Chains A and B, each alone.
Chain A
Amino acid sequence: MNSDNVERNVNEYVTAMVGGQLFGLPIRRVQDVFIPERLTRVPLAPPEIAGVLNLRGRIVTLIDLGFRLGLVREDNGGPAMAIGVEMNGESYGLLIDSVDEVLKLDGAALERNPINLDPRLASVSTGIFRLDGQLLMVIDVDRILDISIHAAAA
């Protein structure tokens, strides 16, 4: 029980910017961070799916995180980045504007989503950290990848 608490208290997050908002993903879910190249778009695919690409011999499905969250991606001059995650043995990439540092945050400081949060964000967020100067929204990878449910609700 104690060790559980300790673990919960020091959570590490990979942080990334999408549409001017800072997001955090639990580090244990993040496989890698890469620059998407040679993207193949998939005709007839849901709009959230930016395409598929070959990442070291694996086929990765790239999800446009901005579109998924209803945000407009910002052109920051640099190349788009993607965070590689996995679900049920399949590889996905979450398309973001830029990747930031890895933060160690105290789980106890995680606050619940404000009730007036955009439902599209609220449905994928597990809570919010108040950092100096900005808010970090923690997102649930499984819920982000749950595209069919999202499509049905929309």
Chain B
Amino acid sequence: MDDLLREFVTETNESLDVVDVELVRFEQDPNNAKILDNIFRLVHTIKGTCGFLGLPRLEALAHAAETVMGKFRDGLPATNDAVTVILATIDRIKEILESLERDQREPDGADADLIADLERIAERTLAAARQQAAEPARVLRPGEVSLDELERAFRDTPVDPPALKGGKAEKAGKAKPVEEAAKDDDTARSGSQSIRVTVDTLEQLMTMVSELVLTRNQLLEIVRRHDDSEFKTPLQRLSNVTAELQEGVMKTRMQPIGNAWQKFPRIVRDLCNELGKKIELELQGAETELDRQVLDLIKDPLTHMLRNSADHGLETPAERRAAGKPEQGHIRLSAYHEGGHIVIRIADDGRGLDTARIKAKAVAQGLVSEADIEKMSEAQIHKFIFAAGFSTATTVTNVSGRGVGMDVVRTNIDQIGGAIDVKSIAGVGLSFTIKIPLTLAIVAALIVESSGERFAIPQLSVVELVRARKGGDHRIERIKDTTVLRLRDKLLPLARLSRLLGTDADADREVESGFIVVTQVGSQTFGIVVDSVFHTEEIVVKPMSTKLRHIAMFSGNTILGDGAVIMIIDPNGVAQAIGSTVTSQMIVEAAQDRVEETAEEATSLLVFRAGSTQPKAVPLSLITRLEEIDARKIEMSNGRHMVQYRGQLMPLISMSPNVNVKGEGAQPLLVFSDGARSMALVVDEIIDIVEDRLAIQVTSDVPGVLGSAVIKGQATEIVDVGHFLPLAFEDWFRRKDNPTSARQHAVLLIDDSPFFRNMLTPVLQAAGYAVTAVGSAREALALLEDGRAFDVAVTDIEMPDMDGYEFAEAVRADARHAELPVIALSSQISAESIERGRQAGFHDYVAKFDRQGLIAALMEQTDVGRAA
């Protein structure tokens, strides 16, 4: 294409974008002469250049638009109608520019319709002005002032000096001078010089720099091998310069996020007209910079969310009035940097999400069962809007709700390694927070080896590295075919990278040692087992070949310092391969990233066999470790089975008389530890770890068995660990070395679930408390009524009849025990529930299954009690 024409198209497109924004501003602020001045000049430039280049269609359109704006300049009101027609004209100009770029000539067609509209407006405004002028006692309109100001502005601005000299501004070279004036203005505004460079040039520069980095790395490698090299100093210098160059080139790729927002004021304005709403758009942090590539990817999701907010989020003026809100809705878009990320927030003050409808839809779509959803908090339910194919809009409007919804937004954001969160308060508003990496081009990555090949794992998703060794602190444990790692209080699912990639020559090889890259994707945490870990390196991400892009395990490839190409592992792909269905992932995520909080819905249970064919189970959270020891190491001491374990003698307890300690071979053990002490239950066989709801259906009279529950379709005995602990150490529950046991504090434990009562009682007793457990809040109140004294109460929140909040309120209401500290136990910890709890009078809030947390809270509350 002709260079001149190409430049014209690029420049005009940019000018038009500015006109778009400015016009909307002008409409809201018609007295601002400066805005009008700016618009007028831009349109005038376009018109002039068109004439110069011989583009009659564009020139005619620009001319008609300029005429109308000229009328504005004469101090006439910029009506909504008029601005709409001008915006339509700008759209038409853009269309023409597009085909101009494509075909290098103006497309055929006529614009008589628009021009007629524009002329009509010009005349009408003129008529209105005359009418106005005829009005006798006319108040001084702001328009008049602005006209003066405008004239002065025009005079004062250093517009086209050569034309002024020539004495005739219009005819001679009307394009050039004005253009220069516009440029002057630009320069003055930005305060720095800039030149236009094509993206291709920058990309090429980036590639060259990457190559330079590679070459530098190679040189460094060579020099490292020759100790006393005279190259060392200059190479160091080269290395530094290269690093700076790389940084500089990276900087050229950075663009303000405002570029993605440029069209938003116009979009909102159009939506206002279309939907009959009043919306104010506030943009904050438009200058926040991020990589061009990321910017492109984030543009569409943001536009979609903005439309959503305007269409579904904000109410009509009538509805807002009825709700006691200002008629004008408010949407705020803000961006700021945080670490290596950019955080973008889009918030409106509309009606918020319709929780009931999301609930109904989630159940109807089979994403979650009705029973489960009843237990979820609002925030958890809101997250379903990110599920695939989820849209609650009952009516499909032109604006949004076309079947693509937040799931698409989420997918887009996932793809660039970002995260999205939603917060909604009914009637008050809705906000989305997006966190995305600043750049995709260069990322820090961990270089690992698996089956002799190297791979890169993006550092962003790596939480920590764990070295697993046979007999070491961290051991890979095996439950049937699944390998897991017990890491602190969590059980981490493991996946061997070589197996995921199908490069494992010996798939059944026993996995005992290796490096575990603990990885987090969203709320899912898992371990990737690799053979070795080298180092962290800044890698230049190159897209996968289209022939390989279907492989979910890789997100791209890169060239390492030694020149080899390696694959970049996509943690998202690995997470999927590790196998969690979308739904369960949703639920886990909905549970706000905390496994403990999902306890109500599903408990991790260890299923094993001991003494009978019927499976037995115990909550995994109670077990410290699974061991398999050599039976020959089991010793008899004082009539009891013992084993030397970590430098101590650990007593072994048989689950029932039918379980015999093996004479030879491997003996599976469940190890329970508390403080420095450990005991082990001898079992026949460890079967599996399952996630299931724990509902004891038949209680038991047999000591050591709480009752039976159906787990994974099979009747299973739930073992009462509390029964066995004292068998190992008689003083398990009343240990002298317990620091808090100077005086036993009395704890009132309230939980409707016998399981939790039975589980927590021994735990609290072990910590030195005297525990009275009751099954309902009413029973608890009755005890208090009877004058029983307690130092602290621990209550479940979700209980039938009277819940934890009501209990706390009742306690507070009675002067006799208004001072009793109440600790709440819950599977749901959300900001709302904590706030609700505070109002009800809870002193503390602990997640169920968080034993350490509970004991810490108890100690704090009883200390407070003592002090008081």
Could you tell me the distance between the alpha carbons of A59 and B546 in the complex, rounded to whole angstroms? Answer: 12
Asked if B566 contacts A40 (CB within 8 A), the reply is yes
- Among B502, B546, B559, point to the contact of A54 (Cβ < 8 A): B559
* Interface flag for B557 (CB, 8 Å): yes
* Interface flag for B214 (CB, 8 Å): yes
* Interface flag for B503 (CB, 8 Å): yes
* Interface flag for B636 (CB, 8 Å): no
Asked if B564 contacts A46 (CB within 8 A), the reply is no
- Among A43, A52, A59, A92, point to the contact of B502 (Cβ < 8 A): A43
Given A42-B551, A57-B214, the answer on whether A52 and B546 have CB atoms closer than 8 Å is no
Q: Which of B210, B502, B542, B565: most chain A CB closer than 10 A?
A: B565
Number of chain B interface residues as a range: 20 to 34
* Interface flag for B545 (CB, 8 Å): yes
- Among A44, A54, A61, A90, point to the contact of B564 (Cβ < 8 A): A54
* Interface flag for B282 (CB, 8 Å): no
* Interface flag for A154 (CB, 8 Å): no
Could you tell me the distance between the alpha carbons of A42 and B564 in the complex, rounded to whole angstroms? Answer: 13
Q: Which residue of A lies closest to B450 (CB)?
A: A43
Chain A interface main SS type: mixed
In the bound complex, residues from chain B placing their C-beta under 8 Å from that of A3 are: none
- Among B208, B501, B557, B559, point to the contact of A44 (Cβ < 8 A): B501
Q: Closest CB of chain A to B597's CB: distance in Å?
A: 36
Asked if A59 contacts B542 (CB within 8 A), the reply is yes
Which residues in chain B, 204-222, are within 8 Å of chain A measured between CB atoms? 207-208, 210-211, 214
Asked if B559 contacts A45 (CB within 8 A), the reply is no
Asked if A57 contacts B501 (CB within 8 A), the reply is no
* Interface flag for B547 (CB, 8 Å): yes
In the bound complex, residues from chain A placing their C-beta under 8 Å from that of B567 are: 40, 42-43
Asked if B551 contacts A54 (CB within 8 A), the reply is no
In the bound complex, residues from chain B placing their C-beta under 8 Å from that of A52 are: 545, 548, 557, 565
Asked if B565 contacts A41 (CB within 8 A), the reply is no
In the bound complex, residues from chain B placing their C-beta under 8 Å from that of A28 are: none
Could you tell me the distance between the alpha carbons of A5 and B657 in the complex, rounded to whole angstroms? Answer: 97
Which residues in chain B, 539-565, are within 8 Å of chain A measured between CB atoms? 542, 545-548, 551, 553-554, 557, 559, 563-565
* Interface flag for A49 (CB, 8 Å): yes
* Interface flag for A116 (CB, 8 Å): no
In the bound complex, residues from chain B placing their C-beta under 8 Å from that of A61 are: 545, 547-548
Number of chain A interface residues as a range: 20 to 34
Q: Which of B501, B545, B564: most chain A CB closer than 10 A?
A: B545
Asked if B564 contacts A40 (CB within 8 A), the reply is yes
- Among B551, B553, B557, B564, point to the contact of A38 (Cβ < 8 A): B564
Q: Which of A49, A52, A53, A92: most chain B CB closer than 10 A?
A: A52
Q: Which residue of B lies closest to A37 (CB)?
A: B563
- Among A38, A41, A43, A90, point to the contact of B545 (Cβ < 8 A): A90
Q: Which residue of A lies closest to B552 (CB)?
A: A44
Asked if B565 contacts A45 (CB within 8 A), the reply is no
Given A43-B501, A44-B502, the answer on whether A59 and B548 have CB atoms closer than 8 Å is no
Asked if A90 contacts B546 (CB within 8 A), the reply is yes
Asked if B547 contacts A44 (CB within 8 A), the reply is no
Q: Closest CB of chain A to B503's CB: distance in Å?
A: 5
Could you tell me the distance between the alpha carbons of A92 and B554 in the complex, rounded to whole angstroms? Answer: 19
Q: Which residue of A lies closest to B210 (CB)?
A: A57
Which residues in chain A, 32-75, are within 8 Å of chain B measured between CB atoms? 38, 40-46, 49, 52-54, 56-57, 59, 61
- Among A41, A43, A46, point to the contact of B547 (Cβ < 8 A): A46
Q: Which residue of A lies closest to B566 (CB)?
A: A40
In the bound complex, residues from chain A placing their C-beta under 8 Å from that of B208 are: 57
Q: Closest CB of chain A to B647's CB: distance in Å?
A: 44
* Interface flag for B453 (CB, 8 Å): yes
In the bound complex, residues from chain A placing their C-beta under 8 Å from that of B501 are: 43-44
Given A59-B542, A59-B557, the answer on whether A45 and B551 have CB atoms closer than 8 Å is yes
* Interface flag for A88 (CB, 8 Å): yes
* Interface flag for A22 (CB, 8 Å): no
Could you tell me the distance between the alpha carbons of A49 and B501 in the complex, rounded to whole angstroms? Answer: 15
Could you tell me the distance between the alpha carbons of A137 and B502 in the complex, rounded to whole angstroms? Answer: 36
Asked if B548 contacts A43 (CB within 8 A), the reply is no
Asked if B563 contacts A40 (CB within 8 A), the reply is no
In the bound complex, residues from chain A placing their C-beta under 8 Å from that of B559 are: 54, 57, 59
Q: Which residue of A lies closest to B553 (CB)?
A: A44
Asked if A49 contacts B547 (CB within 8 A), the reply is yes
Could you tell me the distance between the alpha carbons of A59 and B210 in the complex, rounded to whole angstroms? Answer: 12
Q: 1/0 per residue B603-639: CB within 8 Å of A? A: 0000000000000000000000000000000000000
Q: 1/0 per residue B225-250: CB within 8 Å of A? A: 00000000000000000000000000
Q: Which of B207, B214, B547: most chain A CB closer than 10 A?
A: B547
Q: Which residue of A lies closest to B497 (CB)?
A: A43
Q: 1/0 per residue A96-116: CB within 8 Å of B? A: 000000000000000000000
Q: Closest CB of chain A to B456's CB: distance in Å?
A: 12
Q: Which residue of A lies closest to B564 (CB)?
A: A38
Could you tell me the distance between the alpha carbons of A52 and B566 in the complex, rounded to whole angstroms? Answer: 8
In the bound complex, residues from chain B placing their C-beta under 8 Å from that of A41 are: 453
In the bound complex, residues from chain B placing their C-beta under 8 Å from that of A54 are: 559, 563-565
In the bound complex, residues from chain A placing their C-beta under 8 Å from that of B542 are: 59
Could you tell me the distance between the alpha carbons of A80 and B208 in the complex, rounded to whole angstroms? Answer: 28
Q: 1/0 per residue A136-151: CB within 8 Å of B? A: 0000000001011000
In the bound complex, residues from chain A placing their C-beta under 8 Å from that of B553 are: 43-44
Asked if B564 contacts A147 (CB within 8 A), the reply is no
Could you tell me the distance between the alpha carbons of A92 and B548 in the complex, rounded to whole angstroms? Answer: 12
Could you tell me the distance between the alpha carbons of A52 and B210 in the complex, rounded to whole angstroms? Answer: 18
Could you tell me the distance between the alpha carbons of A152 and B720 in the complex, rounded to whole angstroms? Answer: 57
In the bound complex, residues from chain B placing their C-beta under 8 Å from that of A57 are: 207-208, 210-211, 214, 559
Asked if B551 contacts A44 (CB within 8 A), the reply is yes
Q: Which residue of B lies closest to A44 (CB)?
A: B551
In the bound complex, residues from chain B placing their C-beta under 8 Å from that of A38 are: 563-565
Q: Which residue of A lies closest to B211 (CB)?
A: A57
In the bound complex, residues from chain A placing their C-beta under 8 Å from that of B214 are: 57
Could you tell me the distance between the alpha carbons of A77 and B211 in the complex, rounded to whole angstroms? Answer: 33
Q: Which residue of A lies closest to B556 (CB)?
A: A59
In the bound complex, residues from chain B placing their C-beta under 8 Å from that of A148 are: 547
Q: Closest CB of chain B to A92's CB: distance in Å?
A: 8
In the bound complex, residues from chain B placing their C-beta under 8 Å from that of A44 are: 501-502, 551, 553
Given A41-B453, A88-B546, the answer on whether A53 and B502 have CB atoms closer than 8 Å is no
In the bound complex, residues from chain A placing their C-beta under 8 Å from that of B545 are: 52, 59, 61, 90, 92
Q: Closest CB of chain B to A130's CB: distance in Å?
A: 34
Q: Which residue of B lies closest to A48 (CB)?
A: B547
In the bound complex, residues from chain B placing their C-beta under 8 Å from that of A88 are: 546
Q: Closest CB of chain A to B205's CB: distance in Å?
A: 13
Could you tell me the distance between the alpha carbons of A88 and B547 in the complex, rounded to whole angstroms? Answer: 12
Could you tell me the distance between the alpha carbons of A44 and B503 in the complex, rounded to whole angstroms? Answer: 9
Q: Which residue of A lies closest to B546 (CB)?
A: A90
Could you tell me the distance between the alpha carbons of A40 and B208 in the complex, rounded to whole angstroms? Answer: 22
In the bound complex, residues from chain B placing their C-beta under 8 Å from that of A92 are: 545
Which residues in chain A, 14-44, are within 8 Å of chain B measured between CB atoms? 38, 40-44
Could you tell me the distance between the alpha carbons of A49 and B214 in the complex, rounded to whole angstroms? Answer: 25
Q: Which residue of A lies closest to B503 (CB)?
A: A43
- Among A49, A53, A145, A147, point to the contact of B565 (Cβ < 8 A): A53
Q: Which residue of B lies closest to A145 (CB)?
A: B547
Q: Closest CB of chain B to A41's CB: distance in Å?
A: 7
Which residues in chain B, 623-673, are within 8 Å of chain A measured between CB atoms? none
Could you tell me the distance between the alpha carbons of A47 and B211 in the complex, rounded to whole angstroms? Answer: 30
Q: Which of A42, A45, A53, A90: most chain B CB closer than 10 A?
A: A42
Q: Which of A45, A46, A57, A148: most chain B CB closer than 10 A?
A: A57
Ranked 3 nearest A-B pairs via Cβ: A43-B501, A57-B211, A61-B545
Residues of B in contact with A (beta carbons under 8 Å apart): 207-208, 210-211, 214, 453, 501-503, 542, 545-548, 551, 553-554, 557, 559, 563-567
Extra pairs beyond A53-B565, A61-B545 (17, CB < 8 Å) = A40-B565, A42-B567, A43-B503, A43-B551, A43-B567, A44-B502, A49-B548, A52-B545, A52-B565, A54-B564, A57-B207, A57-B210, A57-B211, A57-B214, A59-B565, A88-B546, A147-B547
Q: What are 6 A-B pairs at a CB distance below 8 A?
A: A41-B453, A45-B548, A52-B548, A54-B564, A56-B211, A59-B545
